[in-house]
Amino acid sequence: MLLDGKKLVVTGVLTKDSIAAAVARLAQEQGAELVLTSFGRGMRLTQRVARTLPAPADVVELDVTDPAQHAALADELGTRWGKVDGALHAVGFAPEACLGQDDGILAAGWDDVATALHVSAYSLKSLTETLLPLMPDGGSVVGLDFDATQAWPAYDWMGVAKAALEATNRYLARDVGARRVRVNLVAAGPLRTLAARSIPDFAAMEDAWATRAPLGWDVRDPEPVARACVALLSDWFPATTGEIVHVDGGAHVVALSRAEAQASLDAVAERDGAR
């Protein structure tokens, strides 16, 4: 099994349909022992999902913006296991003003943007830093990403936060590599998770993937993303760090679908013919 004997921390499990839940389930099937994290009102949701896993997992409180809770998590894991082999960073949040506003990114003030950046990007550094002392033999941190090379409809400041996450991933990989800790991201295509449903016009992203992905894309199936995360958490990628692995059916390599390209050509022809 890929993760036999591994001790892993999994953040971001809120519903059974979340990517993090799919990773947790597959990680246990591959031999890992898990601790999940959650906080506040989400604790009850996470605990409910934890009980449905192949081996019911404990849930430890962690607000990724609270240094005291980071310290408490490190103490708990040190007492429980004495070490950690890896972690899944599946945390992201942006206030309502940061998503889908008529004025796009112009609508949000700094306080809202700061929250989005803290939770969605800086927390990758915070989580890695918290776990580093528990990784004396090295380990793997894997974060969930969404392609930040383009400006997506309604994604606004969350798109900026994902760009910051990608940069953080590269710099962390540089700075913790000497400790044999790998840091990588998995850029997933759109999936119908609770987080996705909070994004206005999310259907526009789904439609883009349905027509562009050469391998096709099922917005209801997180399994391909979970497999990539589990592989990166294993020892099968010992020399890979700072990477962004796209698991999106190949959509990121295709600028326009054939239908979109034909529509553009038709529009140009119609415009030229009207001159």
Q: Which pLDDT score is estimated for 268?
A: 53
Split at pLDDT 50, 70, 90, the class of 256 is low
The share of the chain scoring above pLDDT 90, in percent, equals 79
Q: For 53-85, what is each residue's pLDDT tens digit?
A: 999 999 999 999 999 999 999 999 999 999 999
Q: Which pLDDT score is estimated for 273?
A: 66
Q: For 32-42, what is each residue's pLDDT tens digit?
A: 999 999 999 99
Q: Which two tokens stand for residue 159?
A: 């798109």
pLDDT > 70? residue 119: yes
Q: What is the mean pLDDT of the chain?
A: 91
Split at pLDDT 50, 70, 90, the class of 263 is low
Q: Which pLDDT score is estimated for 41?
A: 93
pLDDT > 80? residue 16: yes
CATH 3.40.50.720 at 7-274, yes or no = yes
* DSSP 8-state class, residue 189: P
CA distance 96 to 208: 23
Q: What is the dihedral of CA 241, 205, 50, 124, to 10 degrees?
A: 30
Catalytic residues: 155, 162
CA distance 146 to 159: 8
> Domain map of the chain by residue range?
7-274
Q: Hey, what amino acid is at 239?
A: A
CA distance 57 to 53: 7
Q: Which pLDDT score is estimated for 153?
A: 85
By CB neighbour count within 10 A (0-12 exposed, 13-18 middle, 19+ buried), where does 267 fall?
A: exposed
The single residue listed with the structure tokens 């953040």 is: 11
Q: Please, which residues have CB within 8 angstroms of residue 31's CB and are 6 or more apart in sequence?
A: 1, 2, 3, 4, 5, 6
| SS3 state at 15 | coil
Q: Which pLDDT score is estimated for 232?
A: 98
Q: Which pLDDT score is estimated for 207?
A: 72
**Segment (H or E) for 43:** helix 42-50
Q: Which pLDDT score is estimated for 192?
A: 76
By CB neighbour count within 10 A (0-12 exposed, 13-18 middle, 19+ buried), where does 140 fall?
A: buried
Residue 122 near residue 89, CB atoms below 8 Å: no
